[in-house]
Amino acid sequence: MTKLTPVAFAAALSLHLPAAWAQAQGTVTLPTVTVNASADASAQGLSAPYPGGQVARGGRAGILGTKDNMETPFSITSFTNELIQDRQARSVGEVLQNDPFVNVARGFGNFQESYFIRGFILNSDDVAYNGLYSLLPRQYIATELFERVEVLHGASAFLTGATPGGGGLGGGINLLPKRAPNEALSRVTVGAGTGGWGSASADVARRFGPDASTGVRVNAGYRNGGTGVDDENASTSVASVGLDWRSRNVRLSGDIGFQDNRLKRTRTNVTPVGVAFIPEAPGAQTNFAQPWTYSNEKDVFGTLRGEWDITPDVTAWGAWGMRRSEEANSLANFDLTDAATGAGRTSRFDNTREDAVDTGEIGVRGKLRTGSVGHEWVLAAATFDLEKKAAYAWDFFNTQATNLYHPVFSPLPAFTSSAFTGGVLAAPGVTGRTKLTSYAIGDTLSLAGDSVLLTVGARHQNLHISNFDYNTGALLPPDYDQSRTSPVAGVVWKASKQLSAYANYIEGLTQGDTAPLQASNRGQSLAPFVSKQKEVGLKYDGGRLGGAIALFSTTRPRSLIDAGGVFTAGGKDRHQGVELSAFGEATRGLRVLGGITWLDAEQLETGDPATNGKRVIGVPQAQGSLGVEWDVPGLKGLALDARVVGGGSRYADAANTLKVAGYSRLDAGVRYLTEVQGKLLTLRARVDNVADRNYWTSTGGFPGAGYLVVGAPRTFNLSASVDF
């Protein structure tokens, strides 16, 4: 199938829409598919969708399991597959445009999706899959294979353990795989859009055996073509098989997935170098990427998970996951050297990487009562092992002149003798190993007639991180091997069926910094950095409309060289703010999803008057999103939606001399559901960035770096799904 076939197919369906309306005869009875199968081989299963179907009533709170939002002292948002489809979200980042507390950014020197949560960065390396870290593609995660995208707002060392990449201090993301629903499913979707891209995907599921105890779900998808940015091209292939089996007291599931993502001439980050101000963003369609650049990533990943009900009140579980991946890139990131004219430079940077990840978790949880006090206790242990192979060649001094607004394109430059190199690009060697182990214990006590829920616990974690010379393979000092115990305390007061108040203290955990060459103790590693979060909030559930407000303060240690030349832990970043959200059905046929956050992220006690008290790079003081979806009266099956996404100004440097303007963007869509010859047909059309605004969508995404990313231009997307 060529890339134009889905386009032609979608066009044909749109031409036959009047016939579909005629066959509908004004009355449409749409079939309902109810998914009751577990997504994670747990007795708890998926949290039920909230009215409106865009988010769920709860989500997975790490080792505590799936929890209703009204009964957990943490803030969790679980976006449903229905929302993913209706917003035509092709990546996790596009799903999170619907989360007012998340700002989607990009990795350092590559095209990796990264996510600011409460002002702290989380890279896609540290996204969890079915509860286990770093199993998914580390650059870009397509959405075709997932049932839910869950976001935990806040620190999570006790709940999920420290992330292998060192992020996640402000929150975590967990993706749940698809499972076979109770009813047979056979769905084909085709799509097309701006830039000439086309797509086709299939989603097939069946249940077999006595009591439909065995489920199989197969997903496959392909998309290829332009992006709306001049001469930019992206191609993505995905496939997965999900199996599950259940008996009276045992539940098993397994998943295997594949993704091949290839980018050509993708627009790069822009790094300000020696400029006095940040200029306006270039035209949203302008592509300043060099024509020879590319980025390829191929991943195979999978999980196994099982549960055994030892007694009616005690359940043991185990999980294992793996990822094997290969990456190859030829990049030319843009250094902006003249803000007035847009002049800049690029240099060639090639790299290859291979990852091998193995990770697992075991645990047991149960319920009991001691007098009038109920207990939900849990014991768990986890392990993580990453072996990284990498090689690079960077011709830093061999630059090519170009311009942000009027790009100058150069032929592929050969590497010069002054290029920095490490390893062999065609056969990268081992350059790093990360080993994490942890043990956790926790209990949720039910008090005062179960109206008060008190959660206490702790996780002891060991971080062992080794780095090796690119060329010799020799172990480089320091060999980081440190441990820390992370406590948690949280309380929920269920004031009524509609209102819960909560508070928590929970920590985040990352590897401590290593002393640089100019320090007298160069090479020495600091103890693990511990972020400390305090949060209070209210949650409201009106039956069809819900909302929440949270006030939080999180501190993260910094490092500095003191007056005696010693590298030590000193100072901190303090992120404190307010989050306000709403979701559900405001009235029948009118759904809302969105909110706003006010965030004060400051650098404190830095030891440098130029940065002390200044805002953290890339974090706006206000950001948010608001989506509204409306069922058009008198036209059953027709719905319109609109979404506003925006953020305030940010800074691209620690001294706050480079201010980046804020932005806002309007997106809109339409969906029509009907029945044609007994088959459910869903047509969707969408326009993102309706006004075609030019803006900087994010700043930073790596500690201390203030690079800029240009927002996407106005794009049109059309899709058609048929359930056979």
| Tens digit of each residue's pLDDT (9 = 90 or more) over 293-319 | 999 999 999 999 999 999 999 999 999
Q: Which residues pair with 597 in a beta bridge?
A: 579, 623
How many residues would you count in the chain?
A: 724
Coil vs helix vs strand at 246: strand
Digit-coded pLDDT (tens) for 99-157: 999 999 998 878 899 999 999 999 998 999 999 999 999 999 999 999 999 999 999 99
What is the pairing mode between strands 696-699 and 171-177? unpaired
pTM metric for this prediction? 0.92
Q: How many domains does the chain have?
A: 1
Percentage above 90 pLDDT, the chain: 85
Q: How confident is the model at residue 17 (pLDDT cuts 50, 70, 90)?
A: very low
- Distance (Å, whole) CA 244 – CA 252: 6
In this predicted structure, the answer to whether residue 7 has a pLDDT above a threshold of 70 is no
33 pLDDT more than 80: no
Q: What are phi and psi of 278, to 5 degrees?
A: -95, 120
Strand order, beta sheet including 120-123: 102-106, 113-117, 120-123
Q: Is the pLDDT of residue 12 over 60?
A: no
Domain range for 441: 5-723
Gap between the Cα atoms of 173 and 567, Å rounded? 33
pLDDT at position 664 is 97
pLDDT at 702: 84
509 CB-contact burial (10 Å; exposed 0-12 / middle 13-18 / buried 19+) = buried
The confidence score (pLDDT) of residue 15 equals 32
Query: With DSSP H G I counted as helix, E B as strand and the rest as coil, what are the percentages for the chain, rounded to 5?
Result: 5, 60, 35
Task: Check: CB of residue 503 under 8 Å from CB of residue 553.
Answer: no
Mean pLDDT of the chain: 92
In which band, very low, low, confident or very high, does the pLDDT at 521 lie, cut at 50, 70 and 90? confident
- Examine the pLDDT at 28 and tell me if it is beyond 70: no
Token couple for 578? 């307010």
Q: Is the pLDDT of residue 352 over 70?
A: yes
CA distances from 640 to 156, 635, 636, 720 (A): 37, 11, 12, 16
Q: Which residue has the tokens 């989380």?
A: 122
Task: Give Cα separations from 560 to 50, 198, 210, 468, 569 (angstroms).
Answer: 47, 51, 64, 25, 6
Q: Is the pLDDT of residue 19 over 80?
A: no
Burial code (b: 16+ CB inside 10 Å, e: under 16) for 540-567 equals ebeeebbbbebebebbbbbbbbeeeeeb
Assess contact for 137 and 259: CB atoms under 8 A: yes
Question: Helix/strand/coil (H, E, C) string of 9-52?
Answer: HHHHHHHCHHHHHHHHCCCCCCCCCCCCCCCCCCCCCCCCECCC
Q: Cα(297)–Cα(107) distance, rounded to whole angstroms?
A: 15
- In our burial notation (b when 16+ CB lie closer than 10 A, e otherwise), range 379-400 reads bbebbbbbbbbbbbbbbeeebb
pLDDT recorded at residue 381: 98
- How far is residue 120's CA from residue 81's CA, in Å, rounded to a whole number? 26
Looking up residue 103, the CATH number of its domain turns out to be 2.40.170.20
Burial 581-601 (b: 16+ CB within 10 A, else e): bbbbbeeeeebbbbbbbbbeb
CB 312: neighbour CB atoms within 10 A?
A: 9
The maximal CA–CA distance of the chain, rounded, in angstroms, is 83
- Write down the pLDDT at residue 688: 97
Give per-residue pLDDT as tens, 225-258.
999 999 999 999 999 999 999 999 999 999 999 9
How far apart CA 432 and CA 661 sit, in angstroms, is 38
Query: Measured between alpha carbons, how far is 138 from 297 in angstroms, rounded to an integer?
Result: 9
Buried b (16+ CB within 10 A) or exposed e, 206-224: bbeeeeeebbebbbbbbbb
How deeply is 369 buried, as exposed, middle or buried, from its count of CB atoms within 10 A (0-12, 13-18, 19+)?
exposed
Q: State the CB neighbour count (10 A cutoff) for residue 247.
A: 12
Closest CA to 643 of 605, 600, 708, 689: 689
Number of CB atoms found within 10 A of residue 48's CB: 11
